[in-house]
């Protein structure tokens, strides 16, 4: 609930200054999508960056080399698997509503 309220506050404050909003990494779960729509409104378009688990893993491992994070391959793999499981219903939801745009 806090995330939606913060998004709403910022979006309302910028309404006259923009043509739209790009919200990165949200929603992760279907309940977040439903809450966003009930409190803010339906998105016109939802982008899904469609890449393999191997691509995501290699990019995260490269990112770790240049940061202070110490995630190992196992931790990254578990995180990616968790992401896929949580996002499947969200992706299906927006596909049914014809609002999903997959980007390879």
Domain range annotation of the chain: 1-41, 45-103
SS3 state at 100:
strand
Rg, Å, the chain Cα set: 16
- pLDDT of 74: 81
Tell me the pairing of strands 46-49 and 100-103.
parallel
pTM higher than the cut 0.85: no
Q: For residue 4, give the H/E element and its range.
A: helix 2-13
Which tokens go with 78?
């578990």
- pLDDT of 71: 65
Inter-residue contact 71 to 64 (CB < 8 Å)? yes
- Tens-level pLDDT at each residue, the chain (104 residues): 898 999 999 999 988 888 888 998 889 899 999 999 999 999 999 999 888 888 888 888 777 666 555 667 788 888 888 888 888 999 999 999 999 999 98
């Amino acid at each position: 609930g806090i995330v939606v309220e913060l998004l709403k506050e910022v979006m309302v404050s910028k309404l006259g200054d923009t043509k739209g909003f790009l919200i990165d990494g949200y929603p992760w779960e279907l309940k977040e999508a439903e809450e966003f729509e009930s409190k803010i409104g339906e998105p016109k378009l939802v982008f899904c960056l469609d890449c393999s688990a191997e691509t995501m893993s290699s990019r995260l491992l490269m990112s770790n080399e240049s940061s202070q994070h110490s995630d190992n391959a196992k931790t990254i793999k578990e995180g990616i698997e968790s992401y896929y499981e949580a996002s499947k219903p969200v992706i299906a939801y927006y596909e049914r509503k014809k609002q999903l745009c997959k980007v390879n």
